Amino acid sequence: MRPEADYPTFLRARAQHGAANGFDPVYIPDFLYDFQRELVDWAIRGGRRGIFADCGLGKTPMQLVWADNVVRHTNKSVLIATPLAVSYQLLGEAEKFGFEAVRVSDGKVPLGARIVVTNYERLDRFDPGDFGGMVCDESSILKNFNGSTKAVITEFMRTLPYRLLCTATAAPNDYTELGTSSESLGELGHMDMLSRYFRNDLNHASAQGGRMFGKATEWRFKGHAEESFWRWVSSWARAIRKPSDYGYDDGDFVLPKLIERDHEVSANTVQPGMLFDLPALTLAEQREERRRTLGERCDKVTDLTDHKKQSLVWCHLNDEGDRLSSSIDGAVQVKGSDHDDEKEERLLAFQRGEIRVLVTKPKIGAWGLNLQGCSHVTWFPSHSFEQYYQGVRRCYRFGQKNDVVVDVVRTHGEERVLQSQQAKAVRADAMFTALMRHMTDALKVRRSSYDDFTTRPEVPKWL
C-alpha cells in the first residue's frame, strides 16, 4: 500500500471520538443525595467528565447511575474498571441500589449485559467495540501501573463516546498530573496542557516525565496562566470534599476525629562512618536508612498493634511485610506475588472483619476499598502523599463511626522524608482549594440561568 494511502488510516486511528457532548439524563433516582444528583446530571450532560469526590461521598452510586443512563441512551453495555478487590464491592453496591451488573474476567461480555465490572489488570481481554461508555473507578491509580498497562487503558478509552473518571485525588500534589486525566477524556493532551499553561526550568516543552538531559524539571505556571488553567479544569471536572461545598447540608457526611501520632524510633546502628544519626538526604541514603532500621521500626508497629481491635498496617518493602506478618498476632499479609484471586479474598476478608490485622503495600490495597470497620492505621513515611492519603482514607471516610488513629513510625534519619510528605499535603490542599473556588464560580454562572430573569432584554433591531 502506498504511504499516502496509509496516512488517512493513521489519522483515523489516532483521532478522538467526535461526540464531545453528552445527553439529557434518562433516569435520576431519588436515592441519590442532592449534591450527588447535581454531579451526575452534570456528568451525563457532559458525556466525558471527571468527578473528584472525597472518600465516602458516594462515587459508586453516582457512577452506577451514570453508567445506567449511558446503557439506556446507547443500548450498549458500559464497562466499569476498578482496582483489585473493588469489583466485588461494587457488585454489592449495584445489587443494593437495584442495578444489573456482572463481573467479567475473561473479556467475554454476556449477551444483554448492562453494566460490566472488571479489574484494570484484565482490561486487555476486552473489546472497546462492545461498550457505549466506560467508568474508571479510582482513576488516579492509573499512574501507578507500568507503561504497557497504562497504554492499554488509555487506548481502550480513546474511541468510547462516553467516559467518566472517578477518584478522590486526581492530582494530589502535582498540577501537571491533571493532564493525564484530561487526555483520557479527550480534552487537551498532557504535553499540550503543559505547553499552554506551564513552563519549566529549561523552558522546553519536551521535558516529559519530569526529566530532560538528565536534569529534574519543575513545571510552574506561566505568567497569568493560573486563573485560565483552573477555569479550563473546571470545564471538565468537578471536585467536592463535603456537601456544603455545593451549598447543601452536610447531614450524614460529618467525619470523626483524625488523630495522627508521630513515633520516632531510635536506631540500633548509625550510618557507616558516622558517630551519630543524621537525616538521610539523598534517595539512596533514605533507602539505606529504611533497610538498616527495618527491625526497629517493625518492632514498634508490633507494639502499637498489640490490642484486640482491627489494624491496617502499610509497608513498602517485602522484608517489612514478612517481618510484620510474622510478629503481629492475627496478622495476614497480602503480597504482590500472590495470585489476584488470593489477594482479593484476603482484602475482602479483612473488610468483613474476619482478619484482625492486614499487612500490605499501598500499591496493592490503598485504592477503592471501604474499610470503615477499622479505625487504626500504621504508616512508614514515604515521598508519596497520595499513597498516604489513600491509605488513611480507606478507614477515615464518611461512614466511619469512630475516631481514627494513624501511627506514623520513623527514625530520626527519615525526618526529611516525613517533611517531604507533609509539604506535599500542603500543596495538595492548595490545589484542591483552587479547583473548588473556580468550580464554585462555574456553578454560580450555571445556576443563574437566563430563564431566571423576569424581564427579557431588548436587543436593537439593527443587531
pLDDT digits (tens, 9 = 90+) for 218-271: 788 888 888 888 888 888 999 888 999 888 999 889 999 999 999 999 887 766
Model confidence, pTM: 0.82
DSSP 224: T
Q: How confident is the model at residue 214 (pLDDT cuts 50, 70, 90)?
A: very low
| Alpha-carbon span 46 to 23, nearest angstrom | 7
58 near 38, Cβ under 8 Å? no
Mean pLDDT of 395-402: 92
Mean pLDDT of 2-13: 56
| Alpha-carbon span 450 to 289, nearest angstrom | 62
| Alpha-carbon span 122 to 127, nearest angstrom | 11
Model confidence at 459: pLDDT above 70: no
Nearest of 368, 316, 384, 380 to residue 174 by alpha carbon: 384
Q: Which residue has the cell 472497546?
A: 128
Nearest of 456, 432, 440, 462 to residue 170 by alpha carbon: 432
- CA-based radius of gyration for the chain: 24
- Tell me how many degrees the CA angle 57-88-361 measures, rounded to the nearest 5: 80
| Alpha-carbon span 396 to 55, nearest angstrom | 8
Q: What is the mean pLDDT of the chain?
A: 84
pLDDT digits (tens, 9 = 90+) for 173-192: 677 778 888 888 888 888 88
For 175-202, letters b (16+ CB in 10 Å) and e give bbbbbbbbbbbbbbebeebbeebbbbee
Nearest of 231, 14, 284, 23 to residue 132 by alpha carbon: 23
Question: Looking at residue 427, what is its pLDDT?
Answer: 83
| Alpha-carbon span 423 to 66, nearest angstrom | 36
More confident residue, 322 or 452: 322
Mean pLDDT of 81-94: 90
Question: Looking at residue 278, what is its pLDDT?
Answer: 61
Question: Looking at residue 19, what is its pLDDT?
Answer: 41
Phi and psi (nearest 5°) for 145?
A: -80, 160
Model confidence at 448: pLDDT above 90: no
Model confidence at 32: pLDDT above 50: yes
Q: Which residue has the cell 457488585?
A: 91
| Alpha-carbon span 372 to 351, nearest angstrom | 8
Model confidence at 48: pLDDT above 80: yes
Residue 289 CA: distances (Å) to CA of 54, 266, 361: 34, 12, 19
Strands (E), 100-232: 101-103, 115-119, 131-137, 162-167, 198-199, 211-212, 215-216, 220-221
Lowest mean pLDDT among 9-23, 44-58, 420-434: 9-23
Model confidence at 17: pLDDT above 50: no
Q: How confident is the model at residue 61 (pLDDT cuts 50, 70, 90)?
A: very high
Model confidence at 208: pLDDT above 50: no
C-alpha cell at 27: 433516569
Of these ranges, 99-108, 136-145, 437-446, the one predicted with the greatest mean pLDDT is 99-108
Model confidence at 336: pLDDT above 70: yes
